[in-house]
Amino acid sequence: MSPGARPTKRALIDLAILGGRPAFEERLHVGRPNIGNQDRLFERISSALSRRWLSNDGPYVLELEARICELIGAQHCITTCNGTVALELAIRALGLAGEVIVPSFTFVATPHALKWLGITPVFCDVDLSTHNIDPVEVERLITPRTTGILGVHLWGRPCDVERLEAIASHNGIALFFDAAHAFGCSRDGRMVGTFGSLEAFSFHATKFLHTFEGGAVVTDDAAFAARLRAMRNFGFAGHEEAIEVGTNAKMNEISAAMGLTGLESFDDVVAANACNYRRYRSELEGLAGTQLLLFDEREKCNFQYVVVEVDERATGVSRDELLEVLRVENVLARRYFYPGCHRMAPYRSEVPEAGSRLPATEALANRVLVLPTGTAVTPDDVGGICEIVRLAVEHGGDLHAQLSDREVARP
Ligand code: T4K
């Protein structure tokens, strides 16, 4: 084997955790940013500096908002400084209060945005197969205090929007979506960004499209759009008159320059992600006790998250052991969204019983592993990652025993 070549992993002894050489010299991450054409980015930044217009509805921000509307087929896009603030603006614009139903199996920013505004997030279970909020459970949780449903299109796979729309309109409550993962995705040919009253995107560095930090609210409702624009800019209607309480949630020009540059490589990033996803799918096919989360390829997908479920009862090795095996090989997989928001400090004391009514969330929080992809990861890297996963899972019982022995032997 040449010095730089990736060591093959054929027997357990080859695993770095059992003394072998790590498969990768450099760490592979979930969420490595997609950069696009750096020269284009620098040109744009240079123009912004020359024109000395760096924020406050600058030309790049306006152009990015127009491009996003075009891509999604929506009427209004209001960019923000991050996705969490986009959610907060959306919640205020909708005038929500009391309780809002939200999945617990999401990034903690989703319930935080509600809680930050004094609203009680009522945690709802997800559907085991889709990982998205379960409409049957939503109906069960509606009380006279419920003012809205906040769905999350987890991993970029859209929620069951039609059933949620029916429930929301039947009960006279708002429906909106955290679309942080789902930029560029569709359901029945309709783009995410056009569902519910409004949808909030994240353009964080780790997202399919990023603006370093950033986000946006997208809506077809002109009145919401006007309110959101005012609220984003201290509540100003013109230059001097604040018409309501607002905040500073504006996106700057450098971020928008990154977003515009990212949009130019939209197709290339989808292609790279799709290629990695298909390689994962073929390499992990039939691996007992594991299940790769599949995308409906008839729809538009961004393939930004590669998610595998590990069922310890069938593999003999736990998800967490696999996570550690990979880490030592320099593959930094993530166990999003462990342990479920309902088990995190700000929420667990308020809803101590939540775990018992969230069985799917609890199961997924202990099974899900998110694997590296994106333009920084090659299909060959994916081959190497799958070799490790396959070896570990196919010898799961034996591996588990060896790892446990090591644990016992450790002083
Ligand atoms: N709703 C949902 C459903 C979300 O998933 C999120 C954010 C939000 C709302 C809120 O949107 P924002 O306010 O963030 O716009 C990361 C991201 O920080 C977060 O944006 C994202 N979801 C969440 C799923 O993942 P962490 O705590 O895992 O971040 P961190 O620092 O561990 O980075 C993740 C991986 O990415 C690491 O392996 C390192 C790599 N990375 C990260 C950055 C920032 C890089 O390689 N380069 C980088 O520049 O939350």
Is residue 335 within 6 Å of ligand 1 at its C-beta? no
Instruction: Inform me whether the pLDDT recorded for 240 exceeds 90.
Output: no
What does DSSP say about strands 76-80 and 215-219: parallel, antiparallel, or unpaired?
antiparallel
Q: CA-to-CA distance for 265 and 32, rounded, in angstroms?
A: 15
* pTM of this structure: 0.96
**Dist CA 38 CA 337 (whole Å):** 32
Residue 216 CA to ligand 1 centre (angstroms): 16
In the predicted model, is pLDDT for residue 30 greater than 60? yes
247 φ/ψ angles, rounded to the nearest 5 degrees = -140, -175
Q: For a pLDDT cut of 90, what percent of the chain falls above it? A: 93
Q: What's the pLDDT at 5? A: 87
How far, in Å, from the CA of 112 to the mean position of ligand 1? Answer: 15
Look at residue 408 and tell me whether its pLDDT is greater than 90.
no
Q: For 144-176, what is each residue's pLDDT tens digit?
A: 999 999 999 999 999 999 999 999 999 999 999
Could you tell me whether strands 306-310 and 368-371 are parallel, antiparallel, or unpaired per DSSP bridges?
antiparallel
Pick the residue whose CA is nearest to atom 27 on ligand 1: 107
Whether the pLDDT of residue 237 is over 90: the answer is: no
**Percentage of the chain modeled with pLDDT above 70:** 98
Residue 1 pLDDT greater than 60, yes or no: no
| Nearest residue (CA) to ligand 1, atom 23 | 107
Torsion of CA 10, 11, 17, 18, to 10 degrees: -150
Task: Give 340 Cα–ligand 1 centroid separation in angstroms.
Answer: 16
Quote the pLDDT of residue 270.
98
The answer to whether 287 and 281 are in contact (CB under 8 A) is no
Tens of pLDDT along 91-142? Answer: 999 999 999 999 999 999 999 999 999 999 999 999 999 999 999 999 999 9
Q: Ligand 1 pocket, 84 CB below 6 A?
A: yes
Considering Cα of 218, then 220, then 226, then 228, what sign does the dihedral take? negative
Least confidently predicted of 60-64, 381-385, 404-408: 404-408
How does residue 405 score in pLDDT terms, banded at 50, 70 and 90? confident
Distance from Cα 315 to the centre of ligand 1, integer Å: 29
281 alpha carbon – ligand 1 mean position (Å): 24
Mean pLDDT of all residues in 189-201: 98
Q: Is the CB of 376 under 6 A from ligand 1?
A: no
Using the predicted structure, report yes or no on whether residue 406 has a pLDDT greater than 90: no
Give the closest residue (by CA) to ligand 1 atom 15: 83
pLDDT reading at 2 higher than 60:
no
